[in-house]
């Protein structure tokens, strides 16, 4: 059956079957030194040399990639439909990104706030204009409660020009003017790597309480005429994850504060990005000790296993199956340190043929049909496989990014003010067993 004619469930079943077939092939081909050789392959006919072996692996991997992309698209469409149904029914009591207050009345029109950057919101705010125009108090406090912090993620990664300044010297006569190049050379920093695959939600409380079904014992059985029915047992436990604050700040002089373009550039390019970058890190490795988030890796109940004697690809496949059998979930993503994925990408046969394509090819961004997300917050040697769906994990935002300007200590007499940005968020892992780490990948 063509993939486009499959249902999501049929595609998932096909993906499991083809993954098992590829896993068998690779287990038969792997040698003790970690290279691959055709001699041990029994499950696939007509493999007469390592070139045939590589082709067989690539063909099956390509089929898994196609299935994985189809499944990912179907999940995204289903989620979009669910979100739209919720919006139409007015079930959300919080504002959506650029789409009003979410309750069908009294909110902003859908086109307001949808395209404006955070810096533009600050510059055009009525309070800022009054404060900047002369009625300046000791501090300025602005809030953008109708905006999600995630609305500004794309803008936070952009850097607008800092302006053009003409520098002239008169020490040796009327010298030609030197015009500085627009913009600046940014310092390298870790990009946002995990937030893009985390489902997002909103919360209006100081914590995210939820009920977890901790006992589910089905006793259903055949009953003889006049016999006694078996009795099942179900029990629930309330869980809760706290909302924490993440903030960043930037001291600026009065002269810089009056340069509106510079304010906007720094708000977009530094403060907002810094807050999101820290949130991205906390969602992975936060230790849960106040005021830290509890990241996925420090959540009790996630599955873990050492690679052992298995090749890296085998160990990851075993984790995918463990998630299916123990977590009763379908893994959606594989998160790996770039160095670990490098070793996978460079895997070769015994006579030097690259399994995942020659150096002249771009190579795969998937393993076992699942997209690979490169993340260097993860320690080298550890991979995280998980079902990144709202049923199993959600990142909740209590408040979007809030920008404030004021004095700290003796800044008033120094002609300096402090700009700060902060947001409040909570990470809830509803089913820890839907996530699995594999360690010792670099052994």
For residue 229, being part of any structural domain is answered with yes
pLDDT at residue 112 above 60? no
For residue 278, being part of any structural domain is answered with no
| Token code pair at residue 243 | 């909302």
Asked if 1 and 10 count as a contact pair (C-beta separation under 8 A), the reply is yes
What mean pLDDT is predicted for residues 278-297?
96
What is the reported pLDDT for 98?
42
Domain around 226: 211-236
What is the reported pLDDT for 176?
67
For residue 368, being part of any structural domain is answered with no
Exposed, middle or buried, 44 (CB in 10 Å: 0-12/13-18/19+)? middle
pLDDT at residue 111 above 50? no
What is the reported pLDDT for 391?
93
Phi and psi at 25, nearest 5°, equal -60, -45
pLDDT at residue 144 above 80? no
pLDDT at residue 120 above 80? no
82-121: b (≥16 Cβ within 10 Å) or e: eeeeeeeeeeeebbbbbbbbbeeeeebeeeebeebbbbbb
Who wins on pLDDT, 260 or 203? 203
Closest CA to 395 of 259, 261, 285, 295: 295
pLDDT in tens, 357-411: 888 777 668 999 999 999 999 999 999 999 999 999 999 999 888 888 888 999 8
What is the reported pLDDT for 405?
83
3-class secondary structure, 156:
helix
Helix (H) or strand (E) holding 326: none
What mean pLDDT is predicted for residues 19-42?
86
Mean pLDDT, the chain, integer: 82
For residue 17, being part of any structural domain is answered with no
Who wins on pLDDT, 158 or 193? 193
In the DSSP assignment, the letter for residue 270 is: I
Q: pLDDT grade, residue 296 (50/70/90)?
A: very high
What mean pLDDT is predicted for residues 275-300?
95
Closest CA to 96 of 153, 141, 142, 150: 150
Q: How are beta strands 244-253 and 383-386 bridged, if at all? A: unpaired
What mean pLDDT is predicted for residues 63-74?
88
For residue 219, being part of any structural domain is answered with yes
DSSP β-bridge partners for residue 41: none
In the DSSP assignment, the letter for residue 376 is: S
Who wins on pLDDT, 72 or 121? 72
The number of distinct structural domains making up the chain is 1
Who wins on pLDDT, 415 or 150? 415
Q: pLDDT grade, residue 95 (50/70/90)?
A: very low
For residue 226, being part of any structural domain is answered with yes
For residue 223, being part of any structural domain is answered with yes
For residue 401, being part of any structural domain is answered with no
Q: Which string of DSSP letters, residue by residue, matches 141-206?
A: E---TTS-GGGGHHHHT--------EE---BTBSPPPEEPPSS--PPP-PPP-SGGGS-EEE--SS
C-alpha dist (Å) from residue 272 to 276, 303, 340? 6, 34, 30
What is the reported pLDDT for 177?
72
Whole-model pTM?
A: 0.70
């Amino acid at each position: 059956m063509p993939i486009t004619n499959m249902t999501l469930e049929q595609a998932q079943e096909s993906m499991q079957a083809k993954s098992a077939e590829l896993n068998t092939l690779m287990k038969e081909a792997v040698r003790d030194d970690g290279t691959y050789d055709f001699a041990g392959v029994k499950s696939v006919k007509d493999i007469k040399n390592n070139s045939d072996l590589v082709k067989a692996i690539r063909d099956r991997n390509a089929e898994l990639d196609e299935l994985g992309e189809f499944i990912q698209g179907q999940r995204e469409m289903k989620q979009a439909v669910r979100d739209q149904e919720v919006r139409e029914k007015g079930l959300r009591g919080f504002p959506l990104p650029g789409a009003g207050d979410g309750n069908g009345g009294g909110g902003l029109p859908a086109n307001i706030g949808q395209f404006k950057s955070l810096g533009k919101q600050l510059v055009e705010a009525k309070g800022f204009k009054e404060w900047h125009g002369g009625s300046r108090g000791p501090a300025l406090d602005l809030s953008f409660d109708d905006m999600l912090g995630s609305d500004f993620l794309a803008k936070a990664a952009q850097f607008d020009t800092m302006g053009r300044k003409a520098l002239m010297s008169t020490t040796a006569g009327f010298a030609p003017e030197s015009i500085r190049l627009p913009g600046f050379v940014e310092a390298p920093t870790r990009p946002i790597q995990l937030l893009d695959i985390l489902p997002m939600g909103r919360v209006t409380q100081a914590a995210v309480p939820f009920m977890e079904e901790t006992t589910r014992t089905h006793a259903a059985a055949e009953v003889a005429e006049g016999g006694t029915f078996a009795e099942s047992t179900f029990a629930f436990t309330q869980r809760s994850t706290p909302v924490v604050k993440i903030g960043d700040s930037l001291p600026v002089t009065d002269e810089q504060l009056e340069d509106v373009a510079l304010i906007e550039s720094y708000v977009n390019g530094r403060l907002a990005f810094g807050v999101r970058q820290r949130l991205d890190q906390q969602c992975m490795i936060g230790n849960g000790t106040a005021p830290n988030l509890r990241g996925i890796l420090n959540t009790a109940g996630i599955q873990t296993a050492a690679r052992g004697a298995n090749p890296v690809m085998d160990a990851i496949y075993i984790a995918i199956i463990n998630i299916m059998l123990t977590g009763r979930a379908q893994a959606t993503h594989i998160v790996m340190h770039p160095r670990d994925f490098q070793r996978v990408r460079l895997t070769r046969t015994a006579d030097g043929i690259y399994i995942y394509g020659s150096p002249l090819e771009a190579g795969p961004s998937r393993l076992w049909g699942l997209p690979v997300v490169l993340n260097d917050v993860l320690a080298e040697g550890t991979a995280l496989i998980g079902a990144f769906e709202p049923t199993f994990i959600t990142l909740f935002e209590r408040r979007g990014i809030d920008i404030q300007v004021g004095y700290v200590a003796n800044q008033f007499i120094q002609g300096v003010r402090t700009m700060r940005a902060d947001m409040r968020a909570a990470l809830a892992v509803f089913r820890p067993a839907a996530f699995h780490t594999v360690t010792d990948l670099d052994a």
